[in-house]
Amino acid sequence: MIVKALEWIGGIDGFLEIVDQRKLPADFVKLKCRDVETLFEAIKTLAVRGAPALGVCAAYGLVLSLQKSSDSDDPRRELEILSRYARYLASSRPTAVNLFWALERIQATAQKFVDDRPDATTKALRETILAEANAVCREDVDMCRRIGENGEKFINEGDGILTHCNAGALATAGQGTALSVLFEAHKNKKKFRVYACETRPLLQGARLTAWELKQAGIDVTIICDNMAGWMMKQSKINTVITGADRIAANGDTANKIGTYSLSILAREHGLPFYIAAPSSTFDLSIKSGKEILIEQRAAEEITQFARTQIAPPGVGACNPAFDVTEAGDITAIITEKGVIEKPDSGSILRLLNCGTNKQ
pLDDT tens digits, 12-55: 999 999 999 999 999 999 999 999 999 999 999 999 999 999 99
Per-residue pLDDT tens over the stretch 222-265: 999 999 999 999 999 999 999 999 999 999 999 999 999 999 99
Structural domains in the chain plus CATH codes: 6-146 (1.20.120.420), 153-354 (3.40.50.10470)
pLDDT of residue 68: 81
Q: What is the mean pLDDT of residues 293-298?
A: 95
* CA 78/CA 80 separation, integer angstroms: 5
Residue 333 pLDDT > 60, yes or no?
Answer: yes
Q: Is 276 helix (H, G, I), strand (E, B) or coil?
A: strand
- Among residues of the chain, what percentage have pLDDT more than 90? 92
* CA 48/CA 53 separation, integer angstroms: 7
From start to end of the chain, where are the E strands? Answer: 6-9, 15-19, 30-33, 160-163, 193-197, 220-223, 239-242, 246-248, 253-256, 273-276, 282-283, 304-305, 308-309, 322-325, 332-334, 339-341
Find which of 71-80, 90-99, 147-156, 297-306 is predicted with most confidence, using mean pLDDT: 147-156
pLDDT of residue 357: 44
Q: Give the number of other Cβ atoms within 10 Å of residue 37's Cβ.
A: 13
Q: Where do runs of H (alpha helix) occur along 117-173?
A: 122-151
Residue 303 pLDDT > 90, yes or no?
Answer: yes
* CA 347/CA 273 separation, integer angstroms: 17
pLDDT of residue 96: 83
pLDDT of residue 358: 38
pTM for the full predicted model: 0.92
332's CB contacts (< 8 A; 6+ apart) are 154, 272, 274, 275, 339, 340, 341, 342, 343
Q: What is the mean pLDDT of residues 103-108?
A: 97
Taking all residues of the chain, what is their mean pLDDT, rounded to a whole number? Answer: 95
Residue 359 pLDDT > 60, yes or no?
Answer: no
Q: For the chain, how far is it from start to end, CA to CA, in angstroms?
A: 36
* CA 56/CA 54 separation, integer angstroms: 5
Burial of 307 (0-12, 13-18, 19+ CB in 10 A): exposed
Residue 187 pLDDT > 80, yes or no?
Answer: yes
Half-sphere exposure for 15 (CA within 13 Å, toward CB): 11
Contact 159, 272 (CB under 8 A): no
Per-residue pLDDT tens over the stretch 44-89: 999 999 999 999 999 999 999 999 876 667 888 899 999 999 999 9
Residue 356 pLDDT > 70, yes or no?
Answer: no
Q: In this predicted model, which residue has the larger pLDDT, 351 or 69? A: 351
Contact 69, 98 (CB under 8 A): no
Q: Give the number of other Cβ atoms within 10 Å of residue 170's Cβ.
A: 27
Confidence of residue 305 (pLDDT cuts 50, 70, 90): confident
Task: Tell me which residue of 152, 150, 207 sits closest to 351, measured CA to CA.
Answer: 150
Q: Which residues are tagged catalytic? A: 245
Rg (CA), the chain: 20
pLDDT of residue 57: 98
Q: What is the mean pLDDT of residues 143-148?
A: 98
pLDDT of residue 306: 81
